[in-house]
Structure 1
Amino acid sequence: MRLLHFATNRLWDRMDGTFGFVPEDPPDRLWLGTVKVGVSADPLIDGKCSPPDVSGFDDFAGPAGRDGAAMDVLAGWFAVARARDALPLLYVHGFDYDFGEACARAGNLCDWLEASGELRLEPLAFTWPSNGITGSSAYKDDQKDCAASGPALARLIHAIGKAAAGHAGRKPAYLAHSMGARATRFAMEALAIGAEALPERLFGQAIVIAGDDDTDVLTPPRAPLRPIAEIADWVTLGVYPGDATLAVISEKVENRKPRLGADGPGTVPHPDDRIYVVDYAYAVSAKPEAIGTTEWNYVAHQYYRNDPRVRKDLVQALSGVAPELVAGRHWGKPDPAVGLSEKAGRLYVV
């Protein structure tokens, strides 16, 4: 079993000790604690998750200027990471996950990334109130609740910044998958307008991969995702043009709007921004399927966990290697003679 720390703004039923499918009131209220997740050796199968042990009740500040119990949970996360010589990883899941599924995915992702033996990870799952149900109406509900959860994620990031000040181990990393990109967008907007200063360079690497969000995240004047570069040494936007799940979402739900994780950002970042678009078109081994023949949780949308070459690439990035120095990556070289040529300003993984 793996001990996993969590933070959530899901509505908590104190009577039966479970977390629901809608945000708390207010939606930025946070509950913190731990669960135990069964180890899984197979990226296609998640382990089981124990009932939650809630010990942080949105009480980040305690009496007489001391830290509250919620801060103690974060300190415990850092302490376990330090004892294991592990990288603390804040993980944000996508759509269609209930609380237990989200925690299991976070823990098992670390199992699969650790399989190379090159890196240990200590996860903290931020689980926003996804319904854990497949379907277009449930998807729209998830979009709404995900956006409403941005301020809660922003509060958590601020709290992690304060907890990290007393942490002598590795600098934490950030990884958001699928609709976790949308949660990240709204968290960055909340951070940008908040009264507190941004926790500069809190994370070593921040990765937003297979992002189920619009492509305007770096487009002026709003550029809602750009503040993430202020809180991380490097930012990776992982894209895969053959992502069948994002193709279904674009076609069936989003009125053919392009998706960040398939098309990349509409505004290409400059390397000086420390934001890098990493294209996994050459690396993903799963063959794309035609729209209508796929499932919501199709393997090609989950390449960050189930493709060995992609996992190897992510382990290097999370280990602190600068994005352009990760082995097997090269800058795109456009070729007008090729119909589907590489794009300038992207790193390609081979």
Structure 2
Amino acid sequence: MAKSMNRQPSRTGAVLRAALLLLALASCAPRPDTSALVPVARPEGADVVRVYVATTRAPLAPPSIGFSSQPSLAVSYRYYDISVPTTPSAREVFWNDGTPDPKQDYLVVGTGALDRRSFLAETGRAVAQSPSSEPTVFVHGFNYRFAEALLRLAQYSKEAGMTSPPILFSWPSKGHPLEYVADRQEAALSRDALADLIVDLDPQRGRTLLASHSMGSWLTMEALRTLALRGEDRVVNNAEVVLIAPDIDVLVFREQLSALPDLETPISVMVSKDDRALRLSSRLASKRPRLGAVDVENPVALERALESQVRIVDISTLPAATAMLHDRSHELARLYQTLRKDGGTIESVTVAGAYVLDSLGNGLIDVGASLTGN
């Protein structure tokens, strides 16, 4: 008995601890805190992006502005006006020390609290005035602070040339690379809130673009499954879903899909088989592959995509932001206009299947045709 109590840690445990340390080190780039949410004077002539927020994070106590990593059972609503730098610097989208520079940094220049009614009224007007006539909802992933999710969405919105109002659904991620299990629990707590938001935003006359990253993609699929089980098939079909590097067990994804109605537009899944963070996620959980790391050239993956109403796109040719090769969202945002404009790559590929984004980022190669020679 004493011998068993003194067992040395397993090799697997040591490997996982080392991998977690690597993840922590990869996440050590400077990150914004609540000070980045304090409004500054609006730079003269600056472009401003208004980001709407619906969140299950608990509000910070006054006079602080923003939201914490703690959960709230009530959804909070807010808007932030964010100035766009004319010459973005390599120091990321936010300032960390010294004086913020409006020429280089994304800065909050205004904010205001909303309730559900005013939130829907404002986003409704913004959508009606938008050429695309569709709201865009972004659900962030694991290890995100509120401030960085907000500023990132402003950056993505600007660089993608989006004309629709960006809406951030922020769930209470702990914002720490070693809080994976806690983040999974907080994401689960936010399923119904996200489902309710999708219903609230459903325009009935158009579509809702629903984009998500990493663990946020699991949350998104859970919300869609919740809607399907409620009988909200029309709302589900009005959502154009894009899952970026989804941290979803492949079998769990099949179960989520099985609850959905036949989809008019395939779900787009952006994958990279070299994604180290998803490899670690698999080790931490079921040991089964993660959806965001599938190999599109595997005939089984192609077969599953065709039968599951899914459009899998390999984006591993795009540069990643970190050594974990998990965040290619930034570069994907840059290519958004080319990929999704009328007649563009994504719009023209309307069928399920497996595709590879070419090295220039301006076309999709049909893996099925490549494998069959057609």
TM superposition score normalised by structure 1: 0.71
Q: Tell me by how many angstroms 1:146 deviates.
A: 0.8
Q: Does 1:23 align with 2:55?
A: no
Q: Residue 326 of structure 2: which of 301, 316, 322 is its match?
A: 301
2:347 corresponding residue in structure 1:
321
Q: Does 1:33 align with 2:78?
A: yes
Calculate percent identity across the aligned residue pairs. 22
What code does the residue aligned with 1:31 have?
S
What code does the residue aligned with 2:285 have?
E
1:130 corresponding residue in structure 2:
173
Inter-CA distance 313–145: structure 2 relative to 1 (3 Å threshold): farther
Residue 106 of structure 1: SS of its match in structure 2? Answer: helix
Q: Residue 142 of structure 2: which of 76, 95, 98 is its match?
A: 95
Inter-CA distance 231–90: structure 2 relative to 1 (3 Å threshold): farther
1:216 corresponding residue in structure 2:
251
Q: Tell me by how many angstroms 1:48 deviates.
A: 3.6
1:67 corresponding residue in structure 2:
none
Q: Tell me by how many angstroms 1:240 deviates.
A: 0.8
Q: What do residues 14-53 of structure 1 show as CA deviations (whole Å, max 9, x unaligned)?
A: 544432212213xxx3222211223254687223446752
2:120 corresponding residue in structure 1:
74
8 Å CA contact 2:58–2:67 kept in 1: the answer is yes
Inter-CA distance 33–270: structure 2 relative to 1 (3 Å threshold): same
Alignment map for 1:1-350 (pairs within 5 Å): 1-13=48-60, 15-16=62-63, 17-25=65-73, 29-39=74-84, 41=88, 45-46=92-93, 47-49=106-108, 52-56=111-115, 70-86=116-132, 87-114=134-161, 119-135=162-178, 138-161=179-202, 164-165=203-204, 171-194=207-230, 198-203=234-239, 205-219=240-254, 223-226=255-258, 233-251=265-283, 253-254=284-285, 256-263=287-294, 268-269=303-304, 271=306, 274-281=309-316, 283-286=317-320, 298=323, 300-306=325-331, 311=336, 314-316=339-341, 321-324=347-350, 328-333=363-368
- In the alignment, the residues of structure 2 paired with residue 187 and residue 98 of structure 1 have an alpha-carbon distance, to the nearest angstrom, of 21
1:339 corresponding residue in structure 2:
none
Inter-CA distance 225–314: structure 2 relative to 1 (3 Å threshold): farther
Q: Tell me by how many angstroms 1:298 deviates.
A: 4.2
What code does the residue aligned with 1:134 have?
P
8 Å CA contact 2:160–2:335 kept in 1: the answer is no
Inter-CA distance 42–310: structure 2 relative to 1 (3 Å threshold): farther
Inter-CA distance 7–78: structure 2 relative to 1 (3 Å threshold): same
Gaps (5+ residues) in structure 2? Answer: 1-47, 94-105, 352-356
Residue 347 of structure 2: SS of its match in structure 1? Answer: coil
Q: What do residues 286-318 of structure 1 show as CA deviations (whole Å, max 9, x unaligned)?
A: 5xxxxxxxx9x5473221322588546644499
Inter-CA distance 144–52: structure 2 relative to 1 (3 Å threshold): farther
8 Å CA contact 2:268–2:313 kept in 1: the answer is yes
Q: Tell me by how many angstroms 1:141 deviates.
A: 0.9
What code does the residue aligned with 2:208 have?
P
TM superposition score normalised by structure 2: 0.67
What code does the residue aligned with 1:12 have?
P
Inter-CA distance 186–317: structure 2 relative to 1 (3 Å threshold): farther
8 Å CA contact 1:239–1:262 kept in 2: the answer is yes
Q: Tell me by how many angstroms 1:244 deviates.
A: 2.7
- In the alignment, the residues of structure 2 paired with residue 103 and residue 48 of structure 1 have an alpha-carbon distance, to the nearest angstrom, of 11
8 Å CA contact 1:250–1:257 kept in 2: the answer is yes
What code does the residue aligned with 1:37 have?
I
Q: Tell me by how many angstroms 1:274 deviates.
A: 3.9
Residue 21 of structure 1: SS of its match in structure 2? Answer: strand
Q: Which has the greater radius of gyration?
A: 2
- Aligned Cα RMSD in Å? 3.5
Q: What do residues 164-198 of structure 1 show as CA deviations (whole Å, max 9, x unaligned)?
A: 14x6xx63311011111111132123223336565
Q: What do residues 227-282 of structure 1 show as CA deviations (whole Å, max 9, x unaligned)?
A: 5666763310111111232233334x33644211112698754547542111223x
Inter-CA distance 72–307: structure 2 relative to 1 (3 Å threshold): closer
